[in-house]
A and B are shown apart, each in its own frame.
Chain A
Amino acid sequence: MVDYLLLLVSTVLVNNFVLVKFLGLCPFMGVSSRTETAIGMSFATTFVMTAASLLSYLVNSYILAPLGLQYLTTMTFILVIAVVVQFTEMVVHKTSINLYRTLGIFLPLITTNCAVLGVALLNIYQQNNFFESIIYGFGAALGFSLVLIMFSAMREKLASADVPTPFKGPAIALITAGLMSLAFMGFTGLVKI
């Protein structure tokens, strides 16, 4: 139990997917200009990452590994992620139109989010078991959401700040992201597994 908790904390803070592993930078930069959309994206990503890491673990250990087809993991996982995203979109569209509107275009975009594929692949490389895979996926998504929402809040403030002309727009956003990354490096050594 303690191990799982430590794994969760370590994936959220210490080995944060965006700021330490540098995965999923595209949505991190792309959808962080407004906090509302960032929150929508966070929810969608959390769900898809958790579901995808669970499913990809099952596919890997019960289909690919017994047949010795581990070299197909990347391809199969992309397929799995695409299916999870599509299925989620359909179910959400049917069950909750409000949530569907909040997530909007971001749901299909998650298909190409490298953090999702990264979670699925890292689960295999780190030889996580079933529960560890789920927690790893969920933790990665939580870390992604945390950082994305924090970053979008900062960017909203930056939009009205008096930034020197050469640093306006993406430049100051990238500098902010770099500083955040430096700050998150400070968590190194918080959890020892």
Chain B
Amino acid sequence: MSILIAIIVLGILCLLFGALLGYAAIKFKVEGDPIVEQLDALLPQTQCGQCGYPGCKPYAQALADGESINKCAPGGEETIKKIADLLGVDVQPLDETHEQDNTPKVAFIIEEDCIGCTKCIQACPVDAIIGAAKQMHTIIIDECTGCDLCVAPCPVDCIKMIPVKTTAHNWLWDLHCIPVTVITDETEIKDQKELTTNEVDA
């Protein structure tokens, strides 16, 4: 008899708790997976596909599903670090298959060889190539992310990647883009910041 009571009581308790959780699951339902949006925001948005996914958003989705975090070559160490912080995993070195020199490059079309096949235009993820069928194409240097996705589709091999030389024009002048950690007391840092801003302005 006492066993029967025990079973009934436990059963009722289980039912009650189950109902509570079921109600909570409906009431506190969360749509979407916000972590994907945050990961997408961290990725460099070059849409280069070097990670093996068609773009940054699909890679962000894959990261959320447990893909390894070291596949973004354009992002480099900095991005890997940020992703590791967000996901709470350890920082890994960049995937070896993607290890390459990190000098910024830009695509260049050898215009006398171009037959106007538009294949590179379709491949370009950032629409940095202009041209039409049977017309010579050319690259908008400012838009090109140097992802070299257009090199492979070209049937006459007229696209090559040229390393961008650092000049006074494209040198990264913004000092504040370097992450600065505060190690001295705050008033000093403030003074220094004001100084550097003044210098840059001058």
Contact = CB atoms under 8 A, between A and B. Distances in A.
A93 B28 contact: yes
Interface SS majority for chain A: helix
Contacts of B28: 90-91, 93-95
Contacts of A75: 10
A176 B14 CA distance: 42
Contact of A90 (B6, B13, B24, B86): B24
B35 interface: yes
Interface string B125-147: 00000000000000000000000
B2 interface: yes
A113 interface: no
Nearest to A83: B17
Given A69-B6, A72-B6, A104-B88, A83 B20 contact: yes
B88 to A, nearest CB: 6
Contacts, number: 48
A80 B16 CA distance: 11
B21 A87 contact: yes
A67 interface: yes
B202 interface: no
A80 B88 CA distance: 29
Nearest to B88: A104
A93 B114 CA distance: 55
Interface residues of B, number: 19
A86 interface: yes
A94 B32 CA distance: 12
B25 interface: yes
Nearest to A105: B88
Nearest to B17: A83
A37 B88 contact: yes
Given A75-B10, A79-B13, A67 B5 contact: yes
Contact of B24 (A72, A91, A105): A91
Interface in B1-26: 2, 5-6, 9-10, 13-14, 17, 20-21, 24-25
Interface string B25-36: 100111000110
A75 B13 CA distance: 11
17 contacts: A37-B88, A63-B9, A67-B5, A68-B2, A76-B13, A79-B14, A79-B17, A80-B17, A83-B20, A83-B21, A86-B21, A86-B24, A87-B20, A87-B21, A90-B21, A94-B28, A94-B30
Interface of B: 2, 5-6, 9-10, 13-14, 17, 20-21, 24-25, 28-30, 34-35, 86, 88
